[in-house]
Structure formats: structure tokens, C-alpha cells
Structure 1
Amino acid sequence: MAASAAMRFPQPVRVGDLLRRDVIQPVESQNFLGTLQQIVRDPDGTLAAVINLGGFLGFGSRPVSVPVDALVLLGQVVEVDAFTPAQLRQLPTFSPGIAAPLSPDAVIKVGLAKPSH
């Protein structure tokens, strides 16, 4: 996943600018998947995005964790490029436990997406 992420021209982005962005599926209809809630660092050093997946108006959603390398930016939204909606639904519910949230002022690199249409 890291090799394909490197080919997407990763750009520095402030974590606080990613929070509360809509997360969509990378298809022309841009299906809504959830909202990005936080970026965390796992004990092994990898960065993960916590996404409130599904639900309606904030009800019935659940947090899941996906690697930051699976995300790309498309304007003001974030696309999950490496997982299908079915694969996302199968991910376990995120539990903060030992993952450390990054500060909103931290800067990470996220790849860019080409429009799917």
C-alpha cells in the first residue's frame, strides 16, 4: 500500500485540516462512507485514520481505523482508495487503547486523487 501511496504525489497536510471531512468512495457517484474523526499513530509507528463509518445524521455510525496510505485527497473530501465499502464494513470497531492521537497541528503526507469521472 505504501508503494502505491508514494505514486500519488503525497502532499503535506495539517491534521486539523483533515478532521471532520467527508470520506467518499472513489467512484463517479462519490458515495458517502463516513466522516474522518482523527489521525492516530499505532504502536508500530504507522499512521491510521479513524473514520466514523456509515450511519445517518451521526446515528448508527461506528469508528473504524484505516491506514493513512489508503486515503487520497480530492478537493475538500477524502477518498478511501484501497478498500471497498464491504471491506470497510468488515473492519473491527476502533478502540483508542494504545493508539496515540496526533495533534491537530501535526503535519502528515496524504496523496492526491484524480477525479473518477
Structure 2
Amino acid sequence: MQSLARLAIPLAALLATGLAPGMAAAQHGVAVQAPDGLTPEQRMQRRFPQPARVGDLIGLPLLDADDRTIGRVERVVRTAEGHTLLVARRGAWFGIGGELVPVPIETVAMLGRQIAVLDIPRGDFLTLAAWRGDAGMPIGPDEIIRVAITRR
């Protein structure tokens, strides 16, 4: 029992200092917004973005840190500034109703045939501003964009 206590103290100190944010996230089931000083674009580059066909993203579920579906991709758009957004339906009940919200491509990653929302906690996702239809131009289904990848 004493050996466990000796191990627990350094582990608690490591988690408290933020040196192991992934371990803390796994324990509490929350997405990590590490204070690493990186921009969302830099974080995306660290997640090994791969080419993906836009048409293959339509209809995929968006998952939170607990692997619960929080929305589905309805369309992919590009803003006037050149940012790519996934427009997802949030709050739909069996695919009916809900509202559209924009999700920046830099905050998500492919997880098999699903999309993991990595940098937006579930609570924040539920409070995202509704999508305005004039805020971006739709990207064609055959166009290739780059999407980060992840695993759990």
C-alpha cells in the first residue's frame, strides 16, 4: 500500500503541472485545451492532416471526448478569409430539427469513419452561434481538402 502512495504523489504533481494533459483528459472525459501557445492551424499540422474528399465527409457524425454524437456534417464551406468550416446539425432528434453550426476544420480530426471534435468541449459546442448561410461558399463534393487524423 505504501508503494501506491509513493506513486500517487508524483503522478498527482505531474497532472497538476499540466505536463500530462492527455492523461487528465482521459480520466475526466473532457477535451484538452492545452496552454501550448499554438494556433489552431499549428495544432492541426501536428495532427498529420490527410487529403479527404468533401463528399465523403457529408453525413459523418461529430463525436465529443466521450464518443457521444453531438452532430452530423451537413456541408463543408470556405469563408472569404479562406478558412474551411464543417457545417453541422446540432440538437437534431433522429435527424429531425436542430440547428446548423459552423465547426472550424482545425478543431476536428478524422477518427475512422467519424469526426472527433478535439478542441471544442461538449458544453461549448452546445453554445456555438448558429450558422448564417451567407458566411461561406459551399465546397463541391469532389474537391479534396486536408483533415487531421487522430486515434483513441
TM over 0.5: yes
**2:135 & 2:48 partners in 1: Cα distance?**
30
Unaligned runs of 5+ in 1: none
**1:90 & 1:78 partners in 2: Cα distance?**
19
What residue identity is the alignment partner of 1:58? G
Deviating runs (4+, > 4 A) in structure 1?
none
**1:109 & 1:98 partners in 2: Cα distance?**
20
**1:21 & 1:67 partners in 2: Cα distance?**
15
Q: Trace 1:29-68 onto structure 2 (pairs within 5 A).
A: 30-68=67-105
Alignment partner, residue 60 of structure 2: 21
Q: Which has the higher contact order (CA 8 A, sep 6+)?
A: 1
Deviation of 1:26 (Å): 2.6
Q: Which has the larger radius of gyration?
A: 2
Deviation of 1:32 (Å): 0.8
Structure 2 residue 46 is the aligned partner of structure 1 residue 7 = yes
What residue identity is the alignment partner of 1:99? G
Deviation of 1:60 (Å): 3.4
Query: Aligned to 2:52, what secondary structure does the other structure show?
Result: strand
Unaligned runs of 5+ in 2: 1-39
Q: How many corresponding residue pairs?
A: 113
Please provide the CA RMSD for this pair. Answer: 1.0
Q: What do residues 19-75 of structure 1 show as CA deviations (whole Å, max 9, x unaligned)? A: 001111133xx1110101111011111111101012211233111001111110010
Alignment partner, residue 92 of structure 1: 129
**1:76 & 1:59 partners in 2: Cα distance?**
22
**1:22 & 1:48 partners in 2: Cα distance?**
15
Deviation of 1:89 (Å): 1.5
Which protein has the bigger helix share?
2
Which protein has the bigger strand share?
1
**1:98 & 1:53 partners in 2: Cα distance?**
18
Identity percentage of aligned residues: 27
